[in-house]
Structure 1
Amino acid sequence: MKNSILLFGLAALLSVTNTLSQTQAERQVITANYDQQALTVLEDELRQDFETNQRIAFEMAAQKGWETHMILPNGGNALLVGVFDDGTPKYYTTDNREGAITTRTDRVHTGGVAGLDLNGENMIGGVWDGGRVRDTHNLLEDRTTQIDNPGSISNHSTHVSGTMVGSASQVNGQAKGMAPMAELLTYDFGADEPEMTNAAANGLLISNHSYGIASSNVPLWYIGYYDSNARNIDRIVYNAPYYLPICSAGNDRQSGENPADGGYDYLTDKSVAKNNIVVAATFEVLEYEDASDVFMSSFSSWGPTDDGRIKPDISAKGVNMYSASGGSNASYTNMSGTSMATPNVSGSLLLLQQHYNDLNGEYMLASTLRALALHTADEAGFAPGPDYRFGWGLLNTQRAAQVISQDGTESMIITETLDANDVYTYTFKADGTQDIFATIAWTDPAANPLPGGNEDVATPSLVNDLDLRISQDGGVTFLPWVLDVATPTAGATTGDNVVDNVEKIEINAPEVGDYIVRVSHKGQLLVNDSQVFSLVIEGISSEGFIVSTTNANVLTCPELQTATFNIDVTFDEGFDDTVVLTFDAAPEGTTASIVPSSVTETATAVLTIEGIDVLAFGSYPIVITATGTSQITNTYVSLEITDDIQVGLVELDSPSNNSQNRPIDGLELEWELASNATLGYEYEVALEDTFDTVVITGTTLELTTILSGLSYETEYFWRVRGVNECSSGTYDGFRRFITEAELATNDNQIQSLMVYPNPANAQVTIESPGSTLERISVYSITGVLLLEKAVSANQVTIDVSGFATGTYFVKATTKNASSVIQVLKN
C-alpha cells in the first residue's frame, strides 16, 4: 500500500470542515502535542516489518501451498499476513459469529429519552476489516471513504460499517447504526498497524477492528500472550494519546483449542493489548434491570491474559445483528460475532466524544474515554465487579453521556499528570444518598514481550503501576476490584491491583462526610518520569468547592531547606463565598505559611515549609483545612525527609556502541530521561572501559551534550548518571566509539570519483563509476561532521540547500577505499 494513497484519502475526508465537530482546527488541537517525528518513524518501522513478514509468508505459501486469501463460509475473510517463529502461517481472520437498544445508544440519538441529539454529525471514525466496503450501499449514504484499494467487496466489512454508522432512513430504521450521521475512513486489514499510526497522527479518534488471529492458528502457549502486535497497539496509542482502537475479543470459546481452562483463556493478538478496548458479544437486552438480564453468547472468547489483566474490557450485543451486506446497494443480513459487537461499541464511543466536545470545546484523551466507558458499564455476570467474561459489564452509552453532562456537579472527569514520587489527592463530600464510584485509567507505555514458548507466564506487562485508593476522612480505606488469574471462575474481590491500567472502586451506601481520592504509584515511572492519568468520580455532593493537590506527598532532602505543596481550590459554577485555608501545625522547628490564605474564586494556594534541615528523617503529616460558610473540607499532605531518593538508571542512546569514524569536534552524546534526576546528569569520557583516565567530565540539565577537542583515530568510552539533592545515581554500563582519521583532501584512493556540481547551490552528486559507494560524509572546514548517510549505489545525490555559503569536505567511502573532495557551497 502506498503512503501517497493513504495520505490522499485522509486529506479527502479530513478536509471536511463544518461547525459541529472535528474541524481542521480541532484536529490540529488533537495532534498539537503529538511527536509527529516519532509517529512517522513508528509508521515506517511497522510498515517495513509488515511488508517483510508478508513477503516471507507469500514466498513460503508458494512453496507449501498455503492460501494467501480466503473467503470464509460465514461471509468473513482471512488474509495471510506473516509467519510465526515456528514457521506456521499467520492469518488475520474476521470475527463473525439490534445493538443500540442493548447499549442504550438509541437513547442519546435525536428523539431519544436522554434529551440529547447525538448522531455523529461530522465525526470521523475508522474501520479496518477484511476487504472493500460497498460504499455505495443505501445504508451508508456515501459517508465512507475507502483509503486503500482492496480487490473485492466484503460482506463483513460492509456489515461492520453499517453497524457503526448506518443511516436511520433505510428499512424503517431497522439497520440504523450507532452513529448514523458519522463518516468513516475504511481500510482492509493488511498493513493495519502502520496505517493506524498514520491515521492517528492525522487526528483520528476511534477505529474499529473486528478481526484477529484465531486460536487454531497459534500454539497453545501463544493464547493470552502479550505479543508484538499487542505491543504495537500500545506503542501507537502511547504516541497518539487521543486515539482509541476498539478490538473484537474473538469467537473461539467453543473451538476446543484450550480445553484445560474450561472456556477461559482464549484471547490473542490485539485483544491482549493494554491501551485499547476489547469487546465481548452478548445477546440483545431489551430492558436492563440487573446483571441477570445479560446473557453471554456461546462463542465470545474469554480472558484472562497471561498476566491476569481484565480482558475483554466491555460487552455489547453481537448476536443476530441486522445490517448491510455487500451483495447489492439494498441487501441486508443478520450476522453474529464479536465482530458485530465491536462496531456497536465503536460507534457509541464516537457519540461520547461528540458530546464531550459539544460541552467542553475539546475531545477526551483515549484514557479518559476508556475510563468513562468502563466506569459506567452496567453490571453483568454472576458476581459484583468485573470478570474475565463480560469485562467491566454491558456498555451503557446513556449513563456515560449523563456523567459528561453532570461533570463538575454530581460527577467529575479529571485528567492529571502524576510525577515521580508525587501523590494526587482529591477531597469531596458524600451526602449518604448516592453510592460512590471512582475509576482511573492511563495509557501505559508498551512493554516488551517475554520470550515465547511457555504457557501462562504471569509476569505483568504493566510498566507504570498507579494505585487508586479512597479513604473516609479519619476512617477506612477502600481498595479497587481485583481478579485472580489462577482462579478465573472466581468472582472479583478488592485489593492491590498490580496488572491492570484501569482500576475501579465502588462504595455502596457511604456514610455522610469527606472522602479523599488518592492516586500514587509503585516503583519508578519508567517513561518521562511521569504518567498522565484519567479519573472519573460519581457520588459527589459538593456544597460549592472542591480541594485537590497533585503533590500530596513531598519526598525531599534536608539540604533543600524548603518544601512546598500546591493546593487547588475549585469553585462550582455560580458559587460565591470566601474560602479560608489553614493548616494544623508545621513540623517542630520549622516555619510555615499558606499563600493566599483565603480565596474567593478558583485558585491555587501554596503551603511553604521552611527550615526543614532541622528535621530528622521520617514522615510529617499535615492537615490543610478549607473553610467556607457552609462547608469544611480537610486535605491531607505529608512531608517525607530522606537522604535516599534513588536516581533511576540512565539509558544511553547515541552514538551507538562500537561506532566508528566519529568526529573529533561536535560529537553529540544523547541519553534517556532518568527518574529523580532533579539536578541533571554527570557524564564522563575516558580512554579505557575502567574509566581510570577520564579526559572529559561535566554536568548538564539536558539529555545531550556536545564533545569537542577529541583526538583523531582514538578509542573512547562514555557513561552518564543522574544526580539529585540527596545522592548520585549509578553508572549503568558504558559505550565505546572510535574517532575519525585525520582528513586529507588529496586522498584519491577511489578511482574516477566525481563530485558535481562544484560549486553547488542545492544538491551535490557523488559518482563512482567503478565501485559501489557505502557511505557519504560531509564535514565543515573545521572538521565537524554535518551529514552522514549509509548508501549502496554508484551514484548518490545529497541535499545541501540548508548549508551556509562556504567550504566543505565530502568524504566518499567504498568497501576498500575512501576519498575526500573539497566542495564550495554558493
Structure 2
Amino acid sequence: MKKIVLVASLLVGVSLNAQEKVNEKELQRIAAELETKYNQDVEFESNRTGLSTESLIESGFQGIYNGASVYYHVDDTRQINSMNVDYLNSGDFENGFAVTGDGMTAYIWDGGNVLLNHQELIGRVVMLEADVPLSSHATGVAGVIGASGVTPLAKGMAPDVFIKALNFQGNAASEMAAESSDPENENYMISNHSYGTIVGWAEGNWGAGYGWYWFGDTSQSETESSMFGAYSDYDAYIDAILYNAPQHSMFKSSGNNNMTGPNGVVNHYVRNSSGQWVSSNTYRPKNCVANYGYDCLSFAGTTPKNLIAVGAILPLDGTRYEEPFDVIETSFSSFGPTDDGRIKPEITAIGQSVYAPTSTSSTSYTNWSGTSFSSPAAAGVGVLLQQIKMQSSNGNEYLRSDMMKAILTHSAFESGLYTGPDYKFGYGLVNALGAAEIILNSNQNAITENRKLLDGNTHTITVTAKGEEPIKVSIAWIDPAGEGVPQNAVPLNDRTPKLVNDLDLRVNDGTTTYSPWKLDPENPAAAATQEDNFVDNLEQVYIESPVAGQTYTITISHKGSLQTPITPAPEINFQEYALVITGVDAPMSVQNFDMSESISVYPNPVVDKLNINTNQKLNNVSIIVFNQMGQNLYTNQLTSMKNNDSIDFRTFPAGVYMVYIKSDEGTITKKIIKK
C-alpha cells in the first residue's frame, strides 16, 4: 500500500510555474500511477469478496485507500431565482451583460450515460466513454447545469453550455488527472462530481448478500465510522491533481450521509480483522446521529482542500433570498467539520425538489433531491462566472480555482444562526449576482487580485473604508497535497492539520487587529470566532461597521516556511493566492516586499567580489553564506542596509553556494556559483 509520501513524490518534475499554468506531464503521470494502482486494487478486492471485476466496476469501486475499500454512489435526494442566476442570464445588472454558457464547456463525472437526445440537452452533450449504461441521475445533473429551458421550470444555470460527461465507475481520479492535462483545458476547466464514498451505513450487496452493510473500522469505534471527515491518500491525490491544474475548479456534492441507516438493531454485515464481511447484530446508530449531524463528510473525495464542496438546502419560501433564516438545510445534507476542523461544505445551493430531466424519455422530468443537484447548480454558476471573466477581459483572463472559491464564498448569502461561516452552510447560499458584481466591480467597491507570496515575505495593502457597508477581505490558495491519515488504522477524528502552507490574513485600523473566521471542531454548533486560522486554505476577515474614510491596513503573511514541491526547485519558495476585498475605495498603497524585486546579487558566476544591491532600505539585516554541505562560511549582521554591500569570495573554493539574506522586510535566498 502506498503511503502519502508517494503523493509528495508525484510533485517531482513539476515546472517552475506549477501553479501558474497546467502541468500536463505531471498530471499524465499521476493518471498513469492511479490507473496502475486501481487495476491492482480491483484484483485484490475481487479475490477478497468473490465479486467479479466487472461487478466491482459497476458497483462504483474506486480502489483501496488507507485499508478501506472505496465505493462511490450517487448523491440523490426553484434554484435560478433563489441564487440570482436570472440576472446573469439576462444581463440585467450594473455593468452586466447576458451570459448563458454559450461557447463554454463543463465536465460531469456521474454514474452513467446522459440521455443525449433529451429535448433540454440535445446536441450539447458528448459522452467521453463508450458502453456506459443510461442514467437518469446523470441526465438530471446535466440538466441542472445546462437544460435549455424548453420546459421553463427545468431551465439550467447555463442553458447554452456544452457538456462533456464521464462515468465515475472505474478510476475516476485517473480520468480527472488526464482530462485536466488536456491542452483544450489549459485556460479553464469546470467539473461537477455528484457522488460520494460509502461511509457508515449503506444498503445493498457488496459480496455477502443483500442487506445492510456497515462501512466502518470496529478497531477504532463500534458505533462511528472513523472515515467520516478523514483526509485519506485518495484526498491527497485529488489535491495533487488540482495543485498541478490550477485552472480546474472542481465542484463536489457534500453527500447525503446524514441519518442514513436502519432503525434499531438489525442483522447486518461488517468487516472482520481480515477484511472479510461477517454477520453482526451489534447496535450501531444511524450515520452522524451521535454528533447531531456534524462530522458527516465522506472521506476519499469530499475532504480535499482544493475543491469546492456544496451542501443542500430546502427551496426558499419566496423567489428571492431576504434574510439568513430563509436558508434551511435539508435533512440529508452532509456537513462538516473535516477531522482537522476545516470548513466544509464551503457553499450551499437548493438541493430538494429540483425539477430536472430524466432518461425515461426525451420529454421526461422529475423532482430530484440530494446534494447531487445542489452541486451542479453551483458548478453551473461557476460556468457563468468564468464566462463573465473571459468576456470582460476580451478572452485574456480566466478565473483560477482559488479565485473561483474566493469569489463564491465572499459573495455568498449569509446563512444560519450566526454571522460568519458554519459547518452546515459553509459561507452561505450561492449568490451569482453578487459574485458577478465582484468580478466586474459593478459597485465600485471591489478589488480582486491574483498574487504570489514569496517565502519570508509579507504583502501589505492600505485601503479606505466606504463606511456604508462592511469591509470583507478574503484570501484563498491552492495548497500542496497534505499527508494522509495512517494506513489501515484511520484514527477517529484526527485533528492534525492537513494544511501545508499556512497563510495569515489580518486587518488593522491603527488600534484593533481583526483576525479571520475560525470554527471549533470540538464545538461544531458554536458561532464562528475571529482568531488565528491554521487549518483552512481560505481565510476571511469581516468588519461589520467600519468608519467611513478610516484607513485600514491589510496584511498577508505566512507561518513557518513555504513549501513549493516542484522540480527544479525555485530559487525561493512561494505560494500563490487569490485576494478579494469589498467595502473599500481603491487601495491607497500596495507594498509587496518581494525581496527578489528589491535585491540584486551579482555577478553570477562570481570570481572575487559578490555585490549585493538593494533599491530600498532594509532593517535588521542578516547575510549568511552556506556551502552545499549546509556549513555557515560567512555571516554579517547589519542594523540597516541601503544601496550596496559586498562579500569577498576569493577565499572560497570553486563550487555552489547559497546566499541567505534576511531582514524585517523579508527573506531571500540566492544560489551562487564560484568559479
TM-score (norm 1): 0.63
**Are 1:205 and 2:196 an aligned pair?**
no
- 2:42 touches 2:53 (CA, 8 Å); kept in 1? no
Q: 1:400 aligns with which of 423, 427, 435?
A: 435
**Are 1:371 and 2:406 an aligned pair?**
yes
1:67 to partner: Cα distance: 5.3
Counterparts of 1:695-734 in structure 2, within 5 Å, are 699-700=655-656, 724-725=660-661
> Where does residue 562 of structure 2 map in the other structure?
525
> Where does residue 127 of structure 2 map in the other structure?
146
**Are 1:174 and 2:153 an aligned pair?**
yes
Equivalent residue letter for 2:459: Y
CA 1:509/1:726 → structure 2, altered by over 3 Å: closer, same or farther? closer
CA 1:63/1:79 → structure 2, altered by over 3 Å: closer, same or farther? closer
Counterparts of 1:28-67 in structure 2, within 5 Å, are 33-62=21-50
> Where does residue 314 of structure 2 map in the other structure?
283
Counterparts of 1:116-135 in structure 2, within 5 Å, are 116-135=97-116
1:136 to partner: Cα distance: 1.4
> Where does residue 274 of structure 2 map in the other structure?
none
Q: 2:251 aligns with which of 246, 252, 265?
A: 246
Equivalent residue letter for 1:477: T
Taking the aligned partners of 1:378 and 1:261, their CA distance within structure 2 comes to 26
- 1:43 touches 1:193 (CA, 8 Å); kept in 2? yes
Counterparts of 1:598-677 in structure 2, within 5 Å, are 608-609=616-617, 639-642=619-622
1:262 to partner: Cα distance: 1.7
Taking the aligned partners of 2:159 and 2:442, their CA distance within structure 1 comes to 26
1:100 to partner: Cα distance: 1.3
Taking the aligned partners of 2:45 and 2:236, their CA distance within structure 1 comes to 21
Taking the aligned partners of 2:405 and 2:83, their CA distance within structure 1 comes to 15
Taking the aligned partners of 2:25 and 2:594, their CA distance within structure 1 comes to 36
CA 1:240/1:647 → structure 2, altered by over 3 Å: closer, same or farther? farther
1:47 to partner: Cα distance: 1.8
**Are 1:548 and 2:590 an aligned pair?**
yes
CA 1:65/1:53 → structure 2, altered by over 3 Å: closer, same or farther? closer
Equivalent residue letter for 2:125: T
Taking the aligned partners of 1:429 and 1:239, their CA distance within structure 2 comes to 36
> Where does residue 340 of structure 2 map in the other structure?
307
- 1:94 touches 1:129 (CA, 8 Å); kept in 2? yes
Equivalent residue letter for 1:551: F
> Where does residue 352 of structure 1 map in the other structure?
385
Of 361-370 and 110-119, the range deviating more from structure 2:
110-119
> Where does residue 271 of structure 1 map in the other structure?
302
- Secondary structure at 1:270 match in 2: coil
> Where does residue 264 of structure 2 map in the other structure?
none
**Are 1:194 and 2:185 an aligned pair?**
no
**Are 1:342 and 2:375 an aligned pair?**
yes
1:260 to partner: Cα distance: 2.6
> Where does residue 630 of structure 1 map in the other structure?
none
Equivalent residue letter for 2:336: G
1:405 to partner: Cα distance: 1.2
Equivalent residue letter for 1:187: L
- Secondary structure at 2:90 match in 1: coil
* Structure 2 residue runs without a partner (length 5+): 1-16, 201-214, 218-224, 261-285, 565-569, 602-608, 631-645, 647-652, 669-675
**Are 1:438 and 2:473 an aligned pair?**
yes
CA 1:158/1:645 → structure 2, altered by over 3 Å: closer, same or farther? farther
CA 1:510/1:155 → structure 2, altered by over 3 Å: closer, same or farther? same
Taking the aligned partners of 1:537 and 1:105, their CA distance within structure 2 comes to 22
Taking the aligned partners of 1:476 and 1:374, their CA distance within structure 2 comes to 25
CA 1:47/1:94 → structure 2, altered by over 3 Å: closer, same or farther? same
Of 129-138 and 60-69, the range deviating more from structure 2:
60-69
1:647 to partner: Cα distance: 11
Equivalent residue letter for 1:44: A
Summarize deviations over 1:207-242 as a string: whole Å, max 9, x none. 000001122234311111101221111111100111
- 1:56 touches 1:83 (CA, 8 Å); kept in 2? no
- Secondary structure at 1:415 match in 2: strand
Equivalent residue letter for 2:250: P
- 2:476 touches 2:578 (CA, 8 Å); kept in 1? yes
- Secondary structure at 1:281 match in 2: strand
Taking the aligned partners of 2:428 and 2:421, their CA distance within structure 1 comes to 7
- Secondary structure at 1:174 match in 2: helix
CA 1:408/1:425 → structure 2, altered by over 3 Å: closer, same or farther? farther
- 2:437 touches 2:443 (CA, 8 Å); kept in 1? no
Taking the aligned partners of 2:312 and 2:584, their CA distance within structure 1 comes to 33
Equivalent residue letter for 1:341: S
CA 1:262/1:158 → structure 2, altered by over 3 Å: closer, same or farther? same
Equivalent residue letter for 1:490: A
- 1:150 touches 1:188 (CA, 8 Å); kept in 2? no
Percent of counterpart pairs with the same letter?
32
**Are 1:537 and 2:581 an aligned pair?**
yes
1:93 to partner: Cα distance: 0.5
Taking the aligned partners of 1:640 and 1:415, their CA distance within structure 2 comes to 30
1:552 to partner: Cα distance: 7.3
1:32 to partner: Cα distance: 8.3
- 2:599 touches 2:612 (CA, 8 Å); kept in 1? no
- 2:43 touches 2:53 (CA, 8 Å); kept in 1? no
* Structure 1 residue runs without a partner (length 5+): 1-28, 71-77, 565-606, 613-638, 651-678, 680-696, 702-721, 730-826
> Where does residue 512 of structure 2 map in the other structure?
476
1:549 to partner: Cα distance: 1.9
1:30 to partner: Cα distance: 12
TM-score (norm 2): 0.76
- 1:481 touches 1:494 (CA, 8 Å); kept in 2? yes
Summarize deviations over 1:384-434 as a string: whole Å, max 9, x none. 100111011001000000111117942110111000110011112113222
Counterparts of 1:433-582 in structure 2, within 5 Å, are 433-451=468-486, 452-472=489-509, 474-511=510-547, 512-527=549-564, 528=570, 529-542=573-586, 546-551=588-593, 564=614
Equivalent residue letter for 1:429: T
CA 1:51/1:112 → structure 2, altered by over 3 Å: closer, same or farther? farther
1:379 to partner: Cα distance: 0.6
CA 1:314/1:726 → structure 2, altered by over 3 Å: closer, same or farther? closer
Summarize deviations over 1:698-721 as a string: whole Å, max 9, x none. 6337xxxxxxxxxxxxxxxxxxxx
CA 1:83/1:417 → structure 2, altered by over 3 Å: closer, same or farther? closer
CA 1:279/1:117 → structure 2, altered by over 3 Å: closer, same or farther? same
What value does the CA root-mean-square deviation take over the aligned residues? 3.1
Aligned length: 552
Summarize deviations over 1:142-198 as a string: whole Å, max 9, x none. 101100124310010010001111102x12x11100110000110000221121112
**Are 1:298 and 2:331 an aligned pair?**
yes
> Where does residue 331 of structure 1 map in the other structure?
364
CA 1:63/1:533 → structure 2, altered by over 3 Å: closer, same or farther? closer
Summarize deviations over 1:338-375 as a string: whole Å, max 9, x none. 00100000011110000011112311111011100011
Q: 1:222 aligns with which of 218, 222, 227?
A: 227
Of 366-375 and 253-262, the range deviating more from structure 2:
253-262
CA 1:311/1:320 → structure 2, altered by over 3 Å: closer, same or farther? same
Equivalent residue letter for 1:376: S
Taking the aligned partners of 2:661 and 2:18, their CA distance within structure 1 comes to 37
CA 1:234/1:407 → structure 2, altered by over 3 Å: closer, same or farther? farther
- 1:95 touches 1:210 (CA, 8 Å); kept in 2? yes
- 1:411 touches 1:538 (CA, 8 Å); kept in 2? yes
Q: 1:316 aligns with which of 349, 352, 364?
A: 349
> Where does residue 639 of structure 2 map in the other structure?
none
Taking the aligned partners of 2:627 and 2:331, their CA distance within structure 1 comes to 52
> Where does residue 20 of structure 1 map in the other structure?
none
1:562 to partner: Cα distance: 6.3
**Are 1:105 and 2:85 an aligned pair?**
yes
**Are 1:415 and 2:450 an aligned pair?**
yes
1:43 to partner: Cα distance: 1.6
